Amino acid sequence: MPKRRILPFIILGITNTHQRITGREITNTFSTEIGDFWQASHSQIYPELRRMTQDGWLTVSTSPTNSKEKYYDITDEGRQVLNEWLGQLVDELPIHQDLFSLKLFFIQQADDPRIGDLINQQMKLLKQNLHHLKQREQQVFPNEEAVQHHYGHYLILKRAISRTQGQLEWLNETKKKLKIR
């Protein structure tokens, strides 16, 4: 079964919250806000922008000073498509490609020294990620007004923080149980 295309809906969501946004700005959103939970490359985004413009979901205009710079805006039809998609319930769990878990899965003995190396490296990465997420929380949500203005984004960020903290707790418990330094 082919994967459902999600990228158009993400782009609609981005353009719905920004007036006259460039393709570059849309791409940059995937390395900041949305990049914490969804990835898309330049080579995926620009063809999608062309299709969405052809479908009437976006309009495109150029800058008066730079004809190569294109600006995108959501249309009423695009907003309707976005609202219909937002109203659909999620009926599947996310698919993860977690290399750490995959490697642990194939280790057969509790005293295998590779477990300690894997756990310690994973903890290092998770601590770095947790630090990044908490900095983003302070930067993006400095006050209650910011939280209320982008509440869904706030919930996702809090979920990511909670998930990362939970993984670190599990790894710490596992290290203690296995007496790993």
Phi and psi at 6, nearest 5°, equal: -105, -25
The yes-or-no verdict on residue 31 having pLDDT over 90 is no
Average pLDDT of the residues of the chain: 90
Residue 32 makes CB contacts below 8 A (sequence gap 6+) with none
Model confidence pLDDT, tens digit, residues 136-156: 999 999 999 999 999 999 999
pTM: 0.74
C-alpha to C-alpha distance for 67 and 146, rounded to whole angstroms: 35
Does residue 69 or residue 99 have the better pLDDT? 69
Q: For position 12, what pLDDT does the model report? A: 95
At residue 106 the predicted structure's pLDDT band, cuts being 50, 70 and 90, is confident
The yes-or-no verdict on residue 2 having pLDDT over 60 is no
Q: For position 1, what pLDDT does the model report? A: 44
Burial class (CB in 10 A: 0-12, 13-18, 19+), 7: middle
Does residue 34 or residue 128 have the better pLDDT? 128
Q: For position 178, what pLDDT does the model report? A: 93
Q: For position 34, what pLDDT does the model report? A: 83
Say if residues 48 and 11 touch (Cβ distance below 8 Å).
Answer: yes
**Per-residue pLDDT averaged across 63-92, rounded?**
90
C-alpha to C-alpha distance for 79 and 60, rounded to whole angstroms: 15
DSSP state of 130: H
